[in-house]
Amino acid sequence: MSYQKIIDGNCEILFGKELWSQLSLVLTKISPSQIFVLTDGNTEQDCLPYFDENFPRKWTYKHISIPFGEKNKTLTTCHQVWNELSEAGADRKSILINLGGGVVCDLGGFVASTYMRGISWINIPTTLLSMVDASVGGKTGVDFNGIKNLIGIIRNPLMVGIDSTFLQTLTLRERKSGFAEMLKHALLSNKEHWEALQSIDLEKLQDIDKYIYKSIQIKHAVVSKDRNETGLRKQLNFGHTIGHAIESYYLNNENPILHGEAIAVGMLIELYLSVTLLRCPESILERYTKMILKTYSKLPIQDSDINEIIKILAFDKKNEKGKINFVLLHNFGKPEIDCQVSNSAIQQAIRYYKKV
């Protein structure tokens, strides 16, 4: 892929192997007092060697590693990173480079935003999910009391670097997780992009760069008009109201599910609500249902789980005055935000997923 970049506020999102030379220029420009690189256990093993090969030789860094997994996206893990920064003498001119997936990028951004009231940080996402989602928009945060991203702040990194070479380290299941967010961007964009995504081979990843770039373009076009999520940006929560509740429900389960797996189910349930409440064409729901049943394993949601999932919805960040707000679709590229849905309608939509 030829060198391109997207400007997201005060942040440059860079693509391809050229990002490494740009990283050198950025570091030279800001001349940090110290550089820290944050990984989890997986990216330390799978991604740090490639990072080392490409990291500018002029600079050295100190490495911080956190435990792998969503269950560690907590304030306890933040305390660990803050402690390591403090003990290493990190000051306000230090910089943190987050090398990892959504957990590392979200948590690392939050740590950097709050350490000494804010130090600079750079995101180098290593998963498909974090490339198309966490790369743009400046959302940082951690889970709290079993609720996804309850604590956080919106603040941009200094730079984001997208190198699809990292995707070779992922399992097919992890690639599918990121693909769910790409499907979301297509549903929020247009039918043509949805059709184009049908040709993606997640095993071979051929032409994946152009699809990553397109997803980021779609998200950036929305975020740039509503950075603080007061209106338009809310549409990016499509699938996430139910999806986050399902993900939170499974968070402490013996078999927790991946973010994208939860969002894929969340979008199906919210498409069902879109058909019943906004007269979204049933053909979209039918095609989407067929696709995710082919792509993702069916979640074993029982009747006894449904009310527990609905209880978790009460903690969703998008709620206002105790009312649960959904994003629903009239059609491709025609979302409607702040849709209030009855519990009985939610139950019916979840049961639709159970029986398909």
Catalytically active residues, by annotation = 117, 139, 181, 219, 229, 233, 237, 240, 244, 259
Tell me which residue of 42, 86, 46, 49 sits closest to 65, measured CA to CA.
42
Give yes or no for a contact between 331 and 280, defined as CB atoms under 8 angstroms apart.
Answer: yes
Tell me which residue of 199, 108, 188, 91 sits closest to 155, measured CA to CA.
108
Give yes or no for a contact between 167 and 208, defined as CB atoms under 8 angstroms apart.
Answer: yes
User: What's the rounded Cα separation, in Å, for the pair 41 and 73?
Assistant: 13
Query: Where are the strands (E) in the chain, listed by range?
Result: 5-8, 11-15, 35-40, 62-66, 95-100, 120-125, 139-144, 147-154, 159-162, 325-331, 334-340
Give yes or no for a contact between 295 and 264, defined as CB atoms under 8 angstroms apart.
Answer: yes
Contacts of 278 (CB under 8 A, 6+ apart): 328, 329, 330, 336, 339
Contacts of 298 (CB under 8 A, 6+ apart): none
Query: Which residues face 153 on adjacent strands?
Result: 140
Give yes or no for a contact between 182 and 197, defined as CB atoms under 8 angstroms apart.
Answer: yes
Tell me which residue of 183, 180, 182 sits closest to 216, measured CA to CA.
182
